[in-house]
Amino acid sequence: MSGVQLVLGVDHVPGKAICQVAGSAARLPALEFLRCFDESAQVRRLMLRYIQAMMNLMEVSTACNALHNATARCARWLLLTHDRVRRDEFGLTQEFLGVMMGVRRATANEVAQDLQKHGAMRDTSISSTARSSSAQRASVTERASTAITNC
């Protein structure tokens, strides 16, 4: 969700929002969002819970990024993305994977090759496809269990 900063009284945020994986999205004008937030206790509770969840995720992600290698961080990111998109396969480029992990494309390539060996990714000539069926999820989870369970 982009724009939740409006709830905190901020009307401008540096940076830009990007879609990590192709799919659909909804857009709500800022004033309409604020009106809903102001008028509905249920919407207000939901947004505040969302902000708390995002703060928790940022704390955990920061710790994991500091403690774990690129393969474990990538596996964790793929599992989180899988949970968000609710699809067993989703396309991504190694360049984008590098941006999301904060590493050079060469490192993203090495990580992708490692995950391909364990069945978590399938490479194509243009992009890689993350695979998160139950079997692959178990393989990736085992491979990155330290990152997932300790973070």
> pLDDT of 113-124, one tens digit each?
888 887 777 764
What confidence tier does 129 reach under pLDDT thresholds 50, 70, 90? low
Class of domain 70-150: mainly alpha
Position 51 scores a pLDDT of 92
Region 27-32: what's the mean pLDDT?
88
What is the rounded CA–CA span in Å between residue 76 and residue 149?
10
**Are the C-beta atoms of residues 84 and 19 closer than 8 Å to each other?**
no
- The structure's pTM equals 0.65
pLDDT of residue 42: 96
Residue 141 pLDDT greater than 60, yes or no: no
∠90-18-62 over CA atoms, to 5°? 85
pLDDT-based confidence at residue 44 (cuts at 50, 70, 90): very high
Confidence check: pLDDT of 43 > 70: yes
Bridge partner residues of 130 (DSSP): 90, 121
CA distance 56 to 111: 26
Over range 1-14, report the average pLDDT. 82
Contact 72, 147 (CB under 8 A): yes
| Segment 133-146 mean pLDDT | 47
> Residue 131 carries which DSSP code?
E
DSSP-H helix ranges across 10-125: 30-39, 41-67, 70-85, 94-101, 105-117
Q: What's the pLDDT at 123? A: 66
Task: Quick: pLDDT tens for 58-76.
Answer: 888 888 878 888 888 888 8
